[in-house]
Structure 1
Amino acid sequence: MGRSYLSVRMRIKRHKVFLVCLLGICVISFLHYYTALHSISLLQELSSPSSHLKTLKMLRGFFWNFPTDDIHFKQNGQKSSHQKGFVDLPDLPDAKQVVTNLHLQKQIFDLHDDSTPFFIHTEPGAVCFHEGTDLAALASHGRLLKHYEERTPLKDDSINAGKKEIRCPCRQGWHGPQCGIPTVVYHSNLPSKSKVTPRKVPRRVINAININHEFDLLHTRFHELADVVDTFLVCESNFTAYGDARPLYFQHLILNGTFDYIKHKILYIFLDHFPDGGRMDGWIADDYLRTYLTKNGMARIQGLKPDDVFILNDADEIPSRDGILFLKLYDGWTEPVGIHLRKSLYGFFWRQYGTLNVLSACTAAMLFKVYKGDGIYLRRRSYYTMSGFREYENSTGRVLVPWAIGSPVHYAGWHCSWCFKPEGIYYKLVSAQNGDFPRWGDYGEKRKMSYIKELIRTGGWFDGSEPDYPPTDPKEHMYAPKYLLDNYDKYHYLLENPYAKK
Structure 2
Amino acid sequence: MVRLRIRCRCVALAVVVSQIFLGFWFYSQPLDPPKQFLKRLFSEGGQSILHLTDHEMSHYYTFFGKDLCVKEGVIPEKSSEGNCVCRKGWKGRRCGVPEVMQRAKWMQNEELSKNLQLRKRARRVILVTPFSYEFDIFETNVNELNGLVDIFVIGETNYTEPGSKASLPVLNKLKKEWLKDFQDKIIYVPVTESDLKKSSFMQNLVHTGLRLVSDIRPDDLFILTNGEEILSRDVLTFLKLFQGYPLPVKCQYREHVYGFYWRATKSINNTKPQVCASSFQFLANAFEYQVSRLQEGSVLEEDLNFFTTHEQPVSEWTVPDAGWKCHLCLSVQNIFRKFLNLPKSYRPKWFTESSSSMLPFIQRLVKFGQDENLAPIGKANTPSQENLPSYLWNNRENFNHLLKNPYETISIHNLV
TM-score, scaled relative to structure 1: 0.66
Does residue 247 (structure 1) correspond to residue 202 (structure 2)? The answer is no
Size of the aligned set, in residue pairs, is 361
- Tell me the amino acid that sits aligned with residue 245 of structure 2: W
3-state SS of the aligned residue for 2:386?
Answer: coil
- Give how far 1:306 is off: 0.4
Match of 2:333 in 1: 423
The CA distance in 2 between the partners of 1:447 and 1:390, in whole Å, is 54
Provide the rounded CA distance (Å) in 2 between the counterparts of 1:241 and 1:190: 45
Indicate yes or no: 2:184 matched with 1:264. Answer: yes
Residue among 45, 70, 87 paired with 1:129 = 70
> Is 1:449 aligned to residue 359 of structure 2?
yes
Matches of 1:455 and 1:302 in 2, distance apart?
46
Aligned-partner SS, 1:441: coil
**Unpaired segments ≥5 residues, structure 1:** 1-99, 143-165, 279-283
From 252, 256, 273, the equivalent of 1:344 is 256
The answer to whether structure 1 residue 375 and structure 2 residue 291 are counterparts is yes
Match of 1:490 in 2: 398
Tell me the equivalent position of 1:304. Answer: 216
Change in Cα spacing, 1:300 to 1:314, as seen in structure 2 (3 Å) is: same
Give a deviation string over 1:218-242, Cα, whole Å, max 9, x none.
Answer: 1111111111000001112232488
Q: Do the aligned partners of residues 300 and 237 (structure 1) sit closer, same or farther apart at CA in structure 2, a change above 3 Å counting?
A: same
Match of 1:322 among 234, 240, 257: 234
- CA distance in structure 2 between the partners assigned to 1:490 and 1:126 by the alignment: 41
Q: Which runs of 5+ in 2 are unaligned?
A: 1-40, 411-416
Structure 1 ranges of 4+ moved more than 6 A? none
Deviation of 1:490 (Å): 2.0
Secondary structure of the 2:259 match is coil
Change beyond 3 A, Cα 1:446–1:179? farther
Instruction: Name the aligned partner's letter for residue 253 of structure 1.
Output: K
The alpha carbon displacement at 1:444 in A equals 5.8
1:384, distance to aligned residue in structure 2 (A) = 3.3
- Name the structure where strand makes up a greater proportion of residues: 2
Does the CA-based 8 Å contact 1:305-1:364 persist in structure 2? Answer: yes
Deviation string 1:341-371 (CA, Å, 9 cap, x unpaired) is 1100011100112666331110000111122
Cα gap change, 1:432/1:116 in structure 2, threshold over 3 Å: closer, same or farther?
A: farther
The one-letter code sitting in structure 2 at the alignment partner of 1:474 is: P
Deviations 1:388-419 (A, max 9, x none): x33652567764111222x2xxx321100011
Shift of 1:135: 1.9
CA offset digits 1:252-297 (Å, max 9, x no partner): 2222211211001101212233457x6xxxxx8xx61111111111
Q: How does 1:370-409 map to 2 (within 5 A)?
A: 370-384=286-300, 389-390=303-304, 392-394=306-308, 399-405=313-319, 407=320
- Which residue identity lines up with residue 475 of structure 1 in the other structure? S
**Correspondence for 1:237:** 157
What is the letter of the counterpart of residue 422 of structure 1? V
Q: Is the 8 A contact 1:446 1:462 kept in 2?
A: no
Give the % identical residues: 25
1:373, distance to aligned residue in structure 2 (A) = 1.4
Is contact 1:205-1:328 (8 Å) kept? Answer: yes
State the alpha-carbon separation in 1 of the partners of residues 161 and 404 from structure 2.
29
Task: Map Cα deviations across residues 297-329 of structure 1 (whole Å, 9 max, x no partner).
Answer: 112211000000011111101101111111111
Q: Aligned equivalents of 1:121 and 1:294: distance in 2?
A: 37
1:195 CA drift (Å): 3.5
Pairing 1:204–2:116 present: no
Please tell me whether Structure 1 or Structure 2 has the larger radius of gyration of its CA atoms: 1
Which of 300, 322, 336 is residue 412 of structure 1 equivalent to? 322
Q: Distance in 2 between matches of 1:234 and 1:241?
A: 22
Output the amino acid matched with 1:378. Answer: L
**Structure 1 residues 323, 398: closer, same or farther in 2, change over 3 A?**
closer
Aligned to 1:181: 97
Deviations 1:130-175 (A, max 9, x none): 3312222224xx6xxxxxxxxxxxxxxxxxxxxxxx5522121110
Match of 2:88 among 164, 167, 172: 172
Flag the 1:172–1:318 CA change in 2: closer, same or farther, 3 A. Answer: same
> Separation in 2 of the partners of 1:101 and 1:447?
40
| TM-score (norm. length: structure 2) | 0.79
Q: CA deviation at 1:113?
A: 1.2
Distance in 2 separating the partners of 1:243 and 1:203: 43
- Distance in 2 between the 1:496 and 1:268 partners? 32
Question: Separation in 2 of the partners of 1:445 and 1:248?
Answer: 20
Do the aligned partners of 2:245 and 2:312 also contact (CA within 8 Å) in 1?
no
Secondary structure in structure 2 of the residue aligned to 1:106: coil
Answering whether residue 154 of structure 2 is matched by residue 217 of structure 1, we say no
Q: Deviations over 1:432-462 (max 9, x none)?
A: 2454575553586996111110100011134
The structure-2 alpha-carbon separation of the partners of 1:169 and 1:486, relative to structure 1 and needing over 3 Å to count, comes to closer
Distance 1:339 1:103, change over 3 A: farther
Find the aligned partners of 1:105 and 1:316 in 2 and give their Cα distance. 28
